[in-house]
């Protein structure tokens, strides 16, 4: 029977080498397609080499609705005391994972990176949309694939993202010069030197791997690759100030050195306000309540215990919290969530107004990477300024 | 050819979308432990102690075994003479499950004791990330009598008594109590839809196994194996002596460079012993430990989204109140810090671990 794919796009397979820690992702060079089709009301998730016919996939997974998820792959292994951003890879890697088993399949996008500076680890809005569409399909949701794709706007689409462009990049080296760092693994002209060798790019020059800075020969670790891709960043022109920037992390914005003075200087009402966002158990523990599980935090006893704490004791709790590994970890999580497109949802939940609702201007996809973090910070600043404005207005009318 | 994504054939899409099974979707979500959210990555004595406490188990705590010898194990439980006074109920072993190790017909060491599976609480592991809880319950539910496992666990044990081990595993995931308690100790990552969490290979690589004496034999209870593994006769008193060589052999199976394993001993609440022998200092020490654990657990389970925003607002407010450039300097400092850290990593060895 003939297979009618719902969706097809260029992707390669990755192996995951778990013998090291962190594990190494090894992309395989072979150009291929991921495609989905439906048969007997179940979605098939398939991969085939581009040379193979539709009905000869090397991978054909029958997906039960809600069992599978298709998401960008980020390696996460945070040391307890650090709060740095997660390390992306030097390629756009997606993972297909299952609720019902620990099976994982990793794939890398073989289409040209849309990043203006050629950062190969950057998921463009279209890339993200693609992943979302697939994920939704795997949940059994209705997706009007045509409309969704037609709606994605790509601001930096200098050229059509057609196959022919990719063939060009594969075949020749000259596009590397035209595009900021796309031949160097996404950093800039500087990165096109020895880095290529380190990252194992010779096969790309041979045109085998679909124009990406990945290779099946020994690539550096995920961290190395990303850093290499950043190497040329400072030397880039204005384009680098556009999308995909690094910006900073919440952990770097809120180290203890910064938060402690603010706590120190806080007045009684601010301290109480901050404490109201922490679990009441902390207050009970400070009161040396023996068995906090036996105390209902909403009870009179609990309230009394909290009231009985001195301002200093309360500040002490706040200080301990901002120094805690759990807080650092949560900052890292939040940073990652913002970078991964969580800005609209998060800002909405917090009632922080962010520009354009957290979406890419003119588009229907969320901001990502450093811009999302920056937009979040700007939204917070705006909130503070508004609050200050309200206060001073009030004062004027007194 | 335009866009590299080919959205074809609406007909096939329509065909697929004709499949709708809301009941399946809904029931799946209710039935299973939210696997993604349940990651007991830190094998932490504080987490385990309060996890079993929340399950209704009385007077049990966990301590780390640092030195692999029987004396150390006995010392942890506070016991110098009789193990009945201060028993070691079992040992939980966390280690990296070697890739490619499949279920075998015969275990590498010891013997499968399928008959024992009828008399022992042994559950097949069905929920991937729940294996920490699985290991805990393997010990607990076999110690009914020696430990007051509480009414809820007793009910669960009775309920699953007649089940074969794979069904017991299912029952574990269906138990709302166990599921809720387990989930509440998951590393809280409320900002990210947990299903977006990275596929860390740690998830199926790290594994928890329980060792405990039951009915006069030393058993290795591993939910991924087909049956409990017997390592020979072993009384309660002999447990610390006999479990050590078994653990040593197990650890020896892995390359010397693989040092990521951890051992937790399940012992009786040390405060009890301290009270009994009038060890005031020891009692105070244990109480402080408990307070610290409860503090950590409270933070672990907490959703910091609101707090983070308020703290951030506080910092922004104070920067804006200072000189005109304060805010920009603060952001610039943070940005430089991020960049520098990444540059430093690059300068490090190629085998640098994540961040």
Instruction: Indicate the CATH number for domain B5-300.
Output: 3.40.532.10
pTM of the full predicted structure?
Answer: 0.57
A233 found inside a domain: no
B205 versus A357: the higher-pLDDT residue is A357
Closest CA to B285 of B25, B12, B78: B78
Residue found by looking up tokens 């052999």 in the block: B249
pLDDT of residue A373 exceeding 70: yes
Q: How far is CA B214 from CA B121, B151, B245, in A?
A: 10, 21, 18
SS3 string, B70-122, reads: HHHHHHHCCCCCCCCCCCEEEEEEEEECCCCCCCCCCCCCCEECHHHHHHCCC
| Phi, psi at A43, each rounded to 5° | -85, 135
Rounded Cα–Cα distance for residues A183 and B14 (Å): 41
Partners of B189 on chain A (C-beta within 8 Å) are: 330, 333
pLDDT, residue B103, reads 55
Contact A282, A317 (CB under 8 A): yes
At A100 the pLDDT is 77
Residue of A21, A247, A330 with shortest CB distance to B304? A330
Task: Give me the percent of chain B exceeding a pLDDT of 70.
Answer: 70
The per-residue pLDDT for B98 is: 55
Can you give the pLDDT at residue A210? 35
Lowest average pLDDT, out of B6-10, B44-48, B243-247, B334-338, goes to B6-10
- Would A161 be classed as within a structural domain? no
Please give the residue that has the higher pLDDT: either B302 or A145. B302
Dihedral of the alpha carbons of B153, B209, B106, B162, in degrees to the nearest 10:
10
Within 13 Å of residue B320, how many CA atoms lie on the same side as its CB?
Answer: 17
Q: Three-state secondary structure along A277-317? A: CCCHHHHHHHCCCCCHHHCCCCCHHHHHHHHCCCHHHHHHH
What backbone torsions phi and psi does residue B14 show, to the nearest 5 degrees?
-60, -40
Higher pLDDT, A285 or B186: A285
| CA atoms A151, A157, A161, A164: torsion sign | positive
CB distance B120 to B219 below 8 Å = yes
Q: Residues 129-158, chain A: which have Cβ within 8 Å of B?
A: 130, 137, 139-140, 142-143, 145-146, 149
Which two tokens mark B333? 């400092």
Mark whether A11 and A142 lie in a shared domain. yes
Please give the residue that has the higher pLDDT: either A75 or B145.
Answer: B145
> Is B259 at the interface with chain A, CB within 8 A?
no
Residue A23 and residue A97 in one domain:
yes
Q: How far apart are the C-alpha atoms of A249 and A85, rounded to whole Å?
A: 6
Closest C-alpha among A249, A222, A124, A240 to residue A179: A240
Q: Does residue A104 have a pLDDT over 70?
A: yes
**Structural domain contains residue A313:** yes
What confidence category does residue B344 fall into, taking pLDDT thresholds of 50, 70 and 90?
A: confident
pLDDT for the residue B230: 92
Give A387's contacts (C-beta < 8 A, 6+ positions apart): none
Which residues of chain B from 40 to 99 reach within 8 Å of chain A, CB to CB? Answer: 42, 53-54, 99
Q: Grade residue A314 by pLDDT with cuts at 50, 70 and 90.
A: very high
pLDDT confidence bin for B204, thresholds 50/70/90: very low
Degrees, nearest 5: CA angle A97-A102-A105: 40
User: What integer pLDDT is reported at residue A319 of this predicted model?
Assistant: 95
Mean pLDDT of all residues in B275-286: 88
Residue B199 scores a pLDDT above 70: no
* Among candidates B203, B339, B345 on the partner chain, residue whose Cβ is nearest the Cβ of A223: B345
pLDDT bin (cut points 50, 70, 90) of residue B131 is low
Residue B95's pLDDT band (boundaries 50, 70, 90)? Answer: confident
The answer on A95 and A71 residing in a single domain is yes
Residue of A nearest to B341 (CA): A84
Q: Is the pLDDT of residue A273 over 60?
A: yes
Q: What angle do CA A191, A194, A198 make, to 5 degrees?
A: 100
The tens digit of pLDDT for each residue in B215-242 reads: 899 999 888 788 889 999 999 889 999 9
In the predicted structure, residue A169 carries a pLDDT above the cut 80: no
Give me the helix-helix angle, B131-140 and B176-184, nearest 10°.
120
Cα separations (Å) of A38 from A53, A137, A264, B12, B16?
17, 10, 61, 6, 5
Identify any residues that bridge with A47 across adjacent strands, giving them in sequence order: A34, A59
C-alpha B65/C-alpha A321 separation (Å) is 29
pLDDT band for A274, please (50, 70, 90 cuts).
very high
Both structure tokens of A164: 């022919």
Least confident of A143-157, A278-292, B157-171, B325-339: A143-157
pLDDT score of B135: 81
What's the CA angle centered on B47, arms B140 and A333, to 5 degrees?
140
Between CA A217 and CA A4 the distance in angstroms is 35
- Provide the pLDDT for residue A151: 66
Question: Are both A139 and A64 inside the same structural domain?
Answer: yes
- Residue B69 neighbours by CB under 8 Å, 6+ apart: B244
> Is position A232 within any domain?
no
Residue A237: other Cβ atoms inside 10 A: 10
ipTM exceeding cut-off 0.85 for this assembly:
no
Give the N- to C-terminal CA distance of chain B in Å, as an integer. 41
Number of domains composing chain A: 3
User: Rounded distance, CA B179 to CA A396, Å?
Assistant: 55
- pLDDT classification of B85: cutoffs 50, 70, 90: low
Beta strands A42-49; A24-27: pairing state:
unpaired
CA distances from A266 to A263, A385, A389, B320 (A): 5, 18, 19, 15
- The whole-number average pLDDT for the span B148-161 is 89
Instruction: Give the pLDDT confidence score for residue A337 in this predicted structure.
Output: 87
Residues recorded for chain B: 355
Residue-level pLDDT at A198: 32
- B255-289 in b/e form (b: 16+ CB < 10 A) is eeeeeebbbbbbbbbbbbbbeeeebeebbeebeeb
The lowest-confidence range among A331-345, B75-89, B327-341 is B75-89
> pLDDT at position B200, please?
40
| Total number of residues shown for chain A | 398
From the list B182, B207, B231, B234, the catalytic residue is B207
pLDDT for B309: 95
The question of whether B302 is a catalytic residue gets the answer no
* B6 touching chain A per CB within 8 A: yes
Across the range A154-163, mean pLDDT stands at 40
End-of-domain residue from the set A287, A302, A323: A323
Which one has a higher pLDDT value, A321 or A81? Answer: A321
Q: What is the pLDDT confidence band of residue A393, given thresholds at 50, 70 and 90?
A: low
Both tokens assigned to B70 = 């029987």
Per-residue pLDDT reduced to its tens digit, B302-327: 889 999 999 999 999 999 998 889 99
Q: At what angle do helices B305-321 and B326-347 cross, to 10 degrees?
A: 120
Q: What percent of chain B has pLDDT over 90?
A: 20
More confident residue, A320 or A205: A320
Judge: B19–A388 Cβ closer than 8 Å, yes or no. no
Of B63, B99, B59, B97, the C-alpha closest to B78 is B63
- Report the range of poorest mean pLDDT among A41-45, A273-277, A339-343, B77-81: B77-81
Q: Determine which one of B32, B81, B131, B288 is catalytic.
A: B131
Residue A318 placed within a domain:
yes
Q: In the A/B pair of chains, how many CB contacts fall below 8 A?
A: 299
Helices B176-184 & B165-174 angle (0-180, nearest 10): 60
* Better pLDDT: A283 or A245: A283
Contact B210, B136 (CB under 8 A): yes
Provide the domain limits for residue A342. Answer: 331-392
pLDDT band (50, 70, 90) for residue B209: confident
* Domain range annotation of chain B: 5-300, 308-346
Give the C-alpha distances (Å, rounded to integers) separating A190 from A183, A232, A302, B31, B250. Answer: 10, 6, 61, 54, 50
Q: Is the pLDDT of residue A271 over 90?
A: yes
In terms of C-beta density within 10 A (0-12 exposed, 13-18 middle, 19 or more buried), how is residue A19 classed?
A: exposed
Which of A249-263, B147-161, B333-347 has the largest mean confidence?
A249-263
**How high is the pLDDT of residue B126?**
65
**Lowest mean pLDDT, pick from A31-40, A121-130, A257-266, B37-46:** B37-46
Strongest mean pLDDT among A339-343, B21-25, B122-126: A339-343
pLDDT of residue A359: 86
Cβ distance B342 to A258 less than 8 Å, yes or no, reads no
Decide if B131 is catalytic.
yes
Question: Does B274 score more than 60 pLDDT?
Answer: yes
Among A130, A154, A178, identify where a domain stops. Answer: A154
Q: Name every residue whose Cβ is closer than 8 Å to that of residue A393 and which is 6 or more positions away in sequence.
A: none
Distance between first and last Cα of chain A: 80
Please, what is the average pLDDT of chain A?
A: 70
Same domain, A286 and A386: no
Please report the DSSP string for A335-382 in residue order.
Answer: HHHIIIIIHHHHHHHHT---GGGGBPTTSSSB--HHHHHHHHHHHHHH
Mean pLDDT of A73-101: 61
Q: Choosing among A187, A194, A326, A376, which should be mutated to test the B contact, i.e. which has the most B CBs within 10 A?
A: A326
Top residue of A111, A211, A255, A330 to mutate, by most chain B CBs within 10 Å, is A330
The residue out of A304, A323, A342 marking a domain boundary is A323
Q: Poorest-confidence range of A226-230, A264-268, B246-250? A: A226-230
A72 chain-B contacts, CB cut-off 8 A: 196
* Interface probe, candidates B283, B307, B320, chain A, greatest A C-beta count within 10 A: B307
């Amino acid at each position: 029977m003939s297979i009618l794919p719902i969706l097809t796009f260029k992707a390669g397979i990755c192996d995951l080498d778990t013998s090291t820690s962190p594990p190494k992702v090894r992309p395989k060079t072979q150009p291929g397609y991921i495609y989905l089709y439906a048969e007997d009301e179940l979605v098939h998730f398939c991969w085939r080499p581009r040379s193979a016919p539709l009905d000869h996939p090397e991978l054909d997974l029958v997906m039960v609705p809600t069992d599978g998820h298709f998401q960008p792959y980020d390696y996460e292994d945070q040391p307890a005391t650090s709060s740095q951003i997660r390390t992306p890879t030097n390629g756009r890697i997606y993972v297909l994972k299952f609720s019902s088993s620990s099976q994982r399949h990793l794939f890398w996008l073989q289409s040209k990176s849309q990043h203006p500076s050629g950062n190969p680890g950057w998921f463009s809005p279209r890339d993200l949309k693609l992943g979302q569409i697939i994920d939704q399909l795997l949940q059994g949701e209705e997706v009007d694939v045509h409309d969704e794709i037609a709606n994605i706007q790509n601001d930096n689409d200098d050229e059509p993202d057609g196959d022919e462009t990719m063939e060009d990049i594969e075949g020749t080296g000259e596009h590397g010069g035209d595009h900021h760092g796309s031949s160097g693994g996404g950093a800039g002209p500087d990165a096109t030197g020895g880095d290529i060798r380190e990252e194992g790019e010779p096969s790309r020059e041979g045109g085998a791997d679909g124009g990406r800075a990945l290779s099946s020969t020994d690539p550096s670790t995920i961290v190395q690759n990303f850093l290499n891709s950043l190497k040329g960043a400072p030397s880039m022109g204005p384009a680098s100030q556009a999308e995909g920037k690094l910006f900073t992390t919440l952990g770097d914005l809120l180290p203890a050195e910064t938060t402690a003075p603010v706590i120190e200087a806080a007045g009684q009402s601010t301290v109480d306000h901050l404490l109201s966002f922490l679990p009441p158990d902390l207050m009970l523990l400070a009161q040396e309540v023996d068995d906090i599980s036996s105390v209902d935090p909403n009870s009179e006893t609990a309230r009394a215990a909290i009231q009985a704490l001195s301002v200093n004791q309360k500040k002490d709790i706040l200080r301990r919290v901002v120094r805690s590994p759990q807080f650092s970890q949560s900052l890292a999580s939040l940073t990652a969530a913002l970078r991964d497109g969580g800005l609209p949802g998060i800002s909405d939940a917090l009632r922080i107004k962010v520009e354009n609702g957290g979406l890419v201007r003119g588009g229907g996809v969320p901001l990502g990477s450093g811009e999302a973090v920056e937009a979040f910070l700007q939204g917070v600043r705006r909130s503070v300024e508004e609050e200050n404005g309200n206060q001073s207005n009030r004062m004027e009318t007194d | 050819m335009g866009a590299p994504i080919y959205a074809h054939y609406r007909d096939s899409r329509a065909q697929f979308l004709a499949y709708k099974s809301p009941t399946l979707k809904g029931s799946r979500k209710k039935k299973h432990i939210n696997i993604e959210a349940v990651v007991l990555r830190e094998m932490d004595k504080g987490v385990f102690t309060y996890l079993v406490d929340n399950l209704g188990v009385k007077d049990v705590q966990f301590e780390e075994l640092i030195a692999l010898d029987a004396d150390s194990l006995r010392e942890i439980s506070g016991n110098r003479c009789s193990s009945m006074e201060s028993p070691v109920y079992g040992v939980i072993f966390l280690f990296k499950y070697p890739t490619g190790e499949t279920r075998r017909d015969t275990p590498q060491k010891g013997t499968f004791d399928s008959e024992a599976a009828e008399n022992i609480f042994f559950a097949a592991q069905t929920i991937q990330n729940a294996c920490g809880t699985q290991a805990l319950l393997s010990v607990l539910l076999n110690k009914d009598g020696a430990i007051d496992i509480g009414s809820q666990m007793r009910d669960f044990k009775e309920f699953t008594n007649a089940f074969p081990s794979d069904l017991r595993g299912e029952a574990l995931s269906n138990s709302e109590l166990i599921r809720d308690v387990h989930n509440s100790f998951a590393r809280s990552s409320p900002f990210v839809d947990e299903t977006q969490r990275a596929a860390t290979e740690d998830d199926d690589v790290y594994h928890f196994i329980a060792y405990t004496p039951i009915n006069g034999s030393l058993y290795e209870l591993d939910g991924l194996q087909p049956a409990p593994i017997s390592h020979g006769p072993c009384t309660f008193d002999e447990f610390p002596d006999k479990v050590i060589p078994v653990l040593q052999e197990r650890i020896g199976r892995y390359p010397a460079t693989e040092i990521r394993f951890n051992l937790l001993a399940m012992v009786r609440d040390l405060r009890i012993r301290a009270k009994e022998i009038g060890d005031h200092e020891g009692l105070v020490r244990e109480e402080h430990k408990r307070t610290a654990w409860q503090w950590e657990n409270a933070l672990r389970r907490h959703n910091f989204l609101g707090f983070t925003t308020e703290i951030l607002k506080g910092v922004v407010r104070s920067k804006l109140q200072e000189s005109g450039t304060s805010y920009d300097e603060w952001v610039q400092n943070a940005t430089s810090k991020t960049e520098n850290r990444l540059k430093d990593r690059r300068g490090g060895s190629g085998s640098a671990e994540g961040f």
